Amino acid sequence: MKGGSSKAAREEVNEMVLTRDFEETIVERVRRDPNFSKALLDEAATLFLNGEADTARLVLRDLVNATVGFEALAVETGKPAKSLHRMLSKSGNPTMDNLAVILGVVRKKLGVEIKAHAVEAG
């Protein structure tokens, strides 16, 4: 049993390292490539509008981390950083008002507008 726990712990550490590397890669790319930042914002909005809220929250979380940061987002929104982290977690459930404010802060930081367009499915 002890060996199983050790294996599980190693797998958890490996997963955490991979996640951290991925997040660092996203942050670096966002900071050096404005078009990538805009594409992530577009993707997050599109995912929300198409009913893929779980993935949209994670994309938006990565974008917040790479641009505004949760502490600055907390100041801008008047919401505690911890609450904002929860809202943008996989199981988060931000209200439409909170989502609009978060998207607005990121949009402003990137200097872009968000426009939705309906297209043929497929």
Check whether 86 has a pLDDT greater than 60: yes
Q: How far apart are CA 27 and CA 86, in angstroms?
A: 20
Give the pTM.
0.78
Q: How far apart are CA 56 and CA 101, in angstroms?
A: 15
**How high is the pLDDT of residue 20?**
62
Exposed/middle/buried for residue 64 (C-beta within 10 Å: 0-12, 13-18, 19+) = buried
Check whether 3 has a pLDDT greater than 70: no
Domain ranges of the chain: 2-110
How much is the mean pLDDT over the chain?
87
Mean pLDDT of 93-100: 96
Check whether 77 has a pLDDT greater than 70: yes
**How high is the pLDDT of residue 24?**
85
User: C-alpha 18: how far from its chain's center?
Assistant: 17
